[in-house]
Structure 1
Amino acid sequence: MSVFGSFELDDDPRRIDRDAVWRFLSTEAYWARWRQRDDVEKQIDGAWRVVAVYDTASGATVGFARAISDGVSLAYLADVYIDPSVRGKGLGVELVRFMVDEGPGHIFRWALHTRDAHSLYKRFGFAPPDSGYMERPGARPAIEP
């Protein structure tokens, strides 16, 4: 657990308000609106690590990120968000820092897909892939933001 101003970051999966995560991902996240509730539940349950941001006054979940990993050398960062009501306070930076640099994967090679927030991720060393990276796109059509 980490304290950041009047917020707390925690990687305890039992503490996550799944309704809050579902609400954001199903209505606000351009990358996740196609998912069903059961998909999100499976993704949270199967994650290698989850981190949520909580408002210490209300206990509300105001941010979230999950990662999948082999637990040894590689991790994939996904579903990073901060609720619009608390943006602009540095919580996105703190959330990514806590997930990537403060956890058990701090020495891993990390990957992610994003259409926005590039400047946030660059702070943590994310960059276009090197020549050793290849990807097979999924079958679902991309959803535009």
Structure 2
Amino acid sequence: MIGELFINGRDAYTTWGISMDDTSLSALMTPAPNKEFMENISRLNHGKSVITNAAKKDERNLTLQLNLTAPDKDIFFARYESFCKELDSGVLEIRTKYQPAILYRTIYLSCSQFSQFMQGIGKFVLKLNEPDPTNRKY
């Protein structure tokens, strides 16, 4: 898990004990949608005209499931507090070992769920927005 996920340039596992759930990588890798194409419906023509030669990417919302682990309660709550402070910045730049040349520039929206299990394991479901999917570092 060390070296698997980086948030704002820091190894998420060594810094906060955070690792990705199985679905998080899939969420990051899902292609961004296109903006709606320009269309024109004219009574003079059959159907409609669609301009497709100037396709642009749209923003996208992501849901990342992350796990926070710690050997005891004190370390768990210290890591939890530190990660919450990182979220307060509002900006999360995410990189994984699976796509080391891609830096996803996201904005933190909310944490829709937080579950704590067995005193030292927590699960976060983060809601993020990638405002410009073409603004990734490659």
Same fold (TM > 0.5)? no
Which structure dedicates a bigger proportion of its chain to helix? 1
- Structure with higher RCO (Cα < 8 A, 6+ apart): 2
Which structure dedicates a bigger proportion of its chain to strand? 2
Higher-Rg structure is: 2
TM-score (structure 1 length as normaliser): 0.30
